Structure 1
Amino acid sequence: MAALQILLKAILLILAVPNSLEKKKCFFKQYHPYFEQDLYASYIIEFYKDKKFREAIGKYHRALLELKALLLSQEASGQRAGAALSEEHRQAVEAIEVDCYNSLAACLLQAELVNYERVKEYCLKVLQKEGENFKALYRSGVAFYHLGDFNKALYYLKEARARQPTDTNVIRYIQLTEMKLSRCSQREKEAL
């Protein structure tokens, strides 16, 4: 029961996660019969519509800590009665963790001074678990572009384009990256 209480606490902390809204609502309803859609919507409005990205970042970090605590307590407790999570619950926790990292990256990209290293780190964590995740592929490409690693940027951006070929942001960043690579190639030729 303690593990379930920690899980509920973690879910409450991350109600602002916008990705996979329906999946999280169904999961939350399963464990909290008093869940109201208005509560969920108000959190999203609070953090995203009002552009309170710094507050959202704090919530996501706290939620990730709670999720890690949940998983660690499950591993440490072994098979004690009521302490272990089922495989389904573990997968749900991991899906929420992926959404948190993806949303963290989105929030960080909205900051005045973007920490592209952290955006890259969070997106790569998402891609370790969901290699096909379009948003993580795109954001990884953007992060690598701004970090000056144009070859990796182009790789991730092309992977994103393979999943959503008409996305204008992906197309624009691919063009920018190809221009940067072309300039770098010209400079190398001139240096020889």
Structure 2
Amino acid sequence: PNCDYTRVVTYCDNALRILPGNVKALFRKGLAHYHMGNYSTARGYFNDAKRQRKGRDEEIMKYIKLCSEAMGQPGTP
């Protein structure tokens, strides 16, 4: 299935205007950027989500690692 990732980013921006620091919106915005190939931007949103999250989230950590690897950097967050 095709996804309009630009629209996902817009929806996440709207959610973050209402609830700044919303982990789900930060994560989904990161995912959208990841799938568009914007790995540095995506990693920034995943790191923001990680900071807002209470406790460790393996899914967030996985995507931080994937972004780093896609940018040719070591996979450690």
Same fold by TM-score greater than 0.5: yes
Shift of 1:162: 0.9
Paired residues, what number? 72
Partner in structure 2 of residue 174 of structure 1: 64
Q: 2:28 aligns with which of 106, 117, 139?
A: 139
- For the pair shown, the structure with the greater C-alpha radius of gyration is 1
Partner in structure 2 of residue 128 of structure 1: 17
Q: Is residue 161 from structure 1 mapped to residue 50 from structure 2 by the alignment?
A: yes
What secondary structure sits across from 1:138 in the alignment?
helix
Cα offsets for 1:151-180 (capped at 9, x unmatched): 110110001011224111111111100111
Q: Distance in 2 between matches of 1:166 and 1:149?
A: 24
Quick one: percent identity of the two aligned structures? 32
**After TM superposition, what 4+ stretches of structure 1 lie above 4 angstroms from structure 2?**
none
Cα offsets for 1:53-84 (capped at 9, x unmatched): xxxxxxxxxxxxxxxxxxxxxxxxxxxxxxxx
Shift of 1:129: 2.1
Q: Is residue 148 from structure 1 mapped to residue 22 from structure 2 by the alignment?
A: no
AA aligned to 1:127 is L
- Higher relative CO (Cα under 8 Å, sequence separation at least 6) belongs to 2
Shift of 1:133: 0.4
TM-score, normalised to structure 1, is 0.36
TM-score, normalised to structure 2, is 0.83
| Long gaps (5+) in structure 1 | 1-111, 184-192
Shift of 1:128: 1.8
Over aligned residues, Cα RMSD in angstroms? 1.4
Shift of 1:140: 0.5
Q: Which has the higher helix share?
A: 1
